[in-house]
């Protein structure tokens, strides 16, 4: 099991520690990254939701039987997240096209839901973005639809290209 430990006297104010007492480097670095963008009181809230998912995945029979890992393929990560949301968190998942026609997964809380779904999904989004930007995780963000990922990358690329071209076109005044 993983647990979050407050270490205010160290460079990293929070560390995620495994059962053997050693830190989980990936999750500890993520907690440190959250300190840059969230208030100090919000970091444990985000990490609690992420660690609940990771701890559940370490002990769930379906996840273990299929040998799914959170840091493997997009499909495996999505399977774990979906299984966690339906089985452990008691949410209802609906699969349908959104307004633009892209097939999406909608998460609905039920009366039995005992987690903060919005915080979990926001934390997971940040977690995978952090891993991707740190070159720890190669696949696209599992919380991002494959079609949307390509569209966003193309949009970011074309926006960057337009910006560079426009900078070259600006006359310099002396």
What pLDDT, on the 0 to 100 scale, is given for residue 158?
53
Query: What is the spatial distance between Cα 47 and Cα 31, in angstroms, rounded to a whole number?
Result: 7
User: Helix 25-37 and helix 117-133: axis angle, to 10°?
Assistant: 110
**Per-residue pLDDT averaged across 12-24, rounded?**
95
CA 55, distance to chain mean position in Å, is: 15
Q: What residue spans define the domains of the chain?
A: 3-143, 145-174
Has residue 165 got a pLDDT over 60? no
What pLDDT, on the 0 to 100 scale, is given for residue 147?
59
Model confidence at 148, pLDDT cuts 50, 70, 90, reads low
What pLDDT, on the 0 to 100 scale, is given for residue 132?
96
Which span out of 3-12, 14-23, 97-106 was modeled with the highest average pLDDT? 14-23
Has residue 130 got a pLDDT over 60? yes
112-121 long-range contacts, CB within 8 A, separation 24+: 113/89, 114/89, 114/90, 115/49, 115/52, 115/88, 115/89, 116/45, 116/49, 117/85, 117/89, 117/91, 119/45, 119/46, 119/49, 120/49, 120/50, 120/52, 120/53, 120/89
What pLDDT, on the 0 to 100 scale, is given for residue 102?
85
Go through the chain and tell me how many residues it has. 174
Model confidence at 103, pLDDT cuts 50, 70, 90, reads confident
pTM of the model: 0.81
């Amino acid at each position: 099991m993983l647990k979050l430990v407050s270490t205010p006297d160290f460079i990293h104010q929070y560390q995620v520690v495994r059962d053997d007492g050693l830190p989980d480097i990936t999750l500890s670095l993520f907690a440190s990254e959250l300190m840059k963008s969230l208030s100090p009181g919000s970091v444990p809230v985000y990490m609690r939701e992420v660690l609940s998912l990771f701890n559940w995945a370490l002990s769930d029979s379906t996840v273990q039987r299929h040998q799914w890992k959170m840091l493997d393929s997009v499909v495996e990560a999505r399977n774990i997240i979906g299984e966690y949301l339906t089985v452990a968190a008691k949410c209802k998942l609906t699969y349908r096209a959104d307004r633009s026609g892209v097939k999406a997964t909608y998460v609905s809380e039920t009366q039995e839901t005992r987690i903060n779904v919005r915080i979990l999904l926001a934390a997971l989004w940040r977690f995978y973005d952090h891993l991707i930007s740190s070159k720890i995780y190669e696949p696209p963000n599992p919380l991002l639809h494959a079609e949307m990922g390509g569209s966003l990358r193309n949009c970011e690329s074309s926006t960057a290209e337009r910006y560079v071209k426009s900078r070259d076109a600006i006359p310099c005044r002396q």
